[in-house]
Amino acid sequence: MKANKIIQSGMCVCPGTARGFIRFFRQNERYGKEDIVVMESWLTQQVMAAKGAGALLSKTGGLTSHASIIARELQIPAIVSVDIQSLEKSQEVIVEAEEEQITIL
Amino acid sequence: MIKKYTTTARPTPKNEIWQKEQGGIIYICERPRYLYKKLEQELFAKGLNNESVMLFGKTVPQFFDDEGRWWADRSLSSGDLLKVFIEDPGFYIRIMSKKVQDVISIIALLRTIDFDKDKNSLRSNFITLFDATVTFYSYYSSTFIVSDEMVCQFRQLLDSFLKKKESNRYFTDFLRAEITKEAIKYNAVEETTGTSKDLFYSERRPVLFYKEPKFFAESSMDNEVISKLFASEQKGKIKEFISLRLTTPLCIQINEEAQYVESKMLLPVLRMALLKIKELFVEQGIIDEGKDIRDLSYHEILSHFEF
């Protein structure tokens, strides 16, 4: 049986747990609860555009970034400053934001 | 000789802080990448004088170097200011209470600005907006400069006696701001990746909205956290905890508010006013099209209206 890979990285800016599939953020796309959206940059307009997502992971961003406060306000589980290198499109993952943990299933 | 360093709160090289000693005074430049023009230097210098009088009862030394970097006495640095506020959180709350009233007045004033190209109204707009911007930047250090340090210190303290999950749950209770709810409502959340911080950095049309911060943020975890603090080796840090528990949630809101007021309201209005003034001066042959109006001083701008 294949062991799950666990990534411990980043800072939680909105607690919560979500299970879904990795999608890299693209403008003008719609996201649903089954999408774990990965962003290269942590911008408020991107958080707003992905507000339907199950969880957000960002390579950049800090605790008090505008985008972090927006994600918290919208109650989307989110981790910023995540090492996103080993994440690939369509991978199934569980995001546990409070634990700053991503489990690749 | 300039000493350059970063802090735990702002660890990336782009957030380097510069320090140097001159005439027996330690000066800190918290934002060395910001290069201010003549008009901006006047605004910030006046604001900083107001702020140092408010904080310490006297003005403190400051200067702009040849490239426009702003250096101020160490007492206004993030580290030193944080110590002042941890020692006396009531003082921080008093200053922020005054700030909120000033921001309310500034927004009310912005609602009255019209953009006629009439010479007299442009002149009067300029005076009004200059004064409002000075008032806004009279809280620069206690808003923009201290915030990351304060948040970081609170976070580190929580991490020292709570498990990661508890610390994240508790801390994120405070990652909220009333004005952010309004910004979402007004669809005014867009930000740019630009790094330059000057009077013209925001090119968008102004959107005026406001909601006062909550001075005493709530968390359902307070009792549990306090009891864990007393049961931990950090129990001696209760005074620091209480200070940061009071100030940090407010600081997060005030910082968020300041950035919305600055980027969506005050600076876009000021920018529009300055560009209209420039248009008038160019039409009158007073300045060349290529001239940046921010390279003129306050008094130079006023004197150019005397045609």
Tell if the CB–CB gap between B191 and A69 is shorter than 8 Å: no
What's the predicted TM-score (pTM) here? 0.91
Reported as a single tens digit per residue, the pLDDT across A35-57 is: 999 999 999 999 999 999 999 99
Question: B16 in a domain, yes or no?
Answer: no
* CATH number of the domain encompassing residue A55: 3.50.30.10
Number of domains within chain B: 1
Residues of A with CB below 8 A from B169's CB? 15, 98
Residues of A with CB below 8 A from B170's CB? none
Tell if the CB–CB gap between A66 and B172 is shorter than 8 Å: no
From the list B147, B181, B191, the residue facing A43 with the nearest CB is B191
Number of domains within chain A: 1
If you measure CA to CA, which chain A residue comes closest to B255?
Answer: A64
Residues of B with CB below 8 A from A15's CB? 168-169, 172
Series of mean pLDDT values for 10-residue runs along chain B (307 residues): 87 88 94 92 95 96 94 93 96 97 96 84 94 96 93 96 96 93 87 61 81 94 97 96 97 94 92 93 93 94 90
Question: B194 in a domain, yes or no?
Answer: yes
How far apart CA A11 and CA A61 sit, in angstroms, is 9
Question: B37 in a domain, yes or no?
Answer: no
Question: B48 in a domain, yes or no?
Answer: no
Question: B188 in a domain, yes or no?
Answer: yes
Tell if the CB–CB gap between B175 and A15 is shorter than 8 Å: no
If you measure CA to CA, which chain A residue comes closest to B149?
Answer: A64
CB of B14 within 8 Å of a chain A CB? The answer is no
Q: Which amino acid is at B124?
A: S
Look up the domain containing A39 and give its range: 5-104
From the list A44, A72, A99, the residue facing B176 with the nearest CB is A72
If you measure CA to CA, which chain B residue comes closest to A15?
Answer: B169
| Paired sense of beta strands B62-64 and B25-29, if any | unpaired
Question: B108 in a domain, yes or no?
Answer: yes
Q: What is the pLDDT of residue B70?
A: 93
ipTM: 0.90
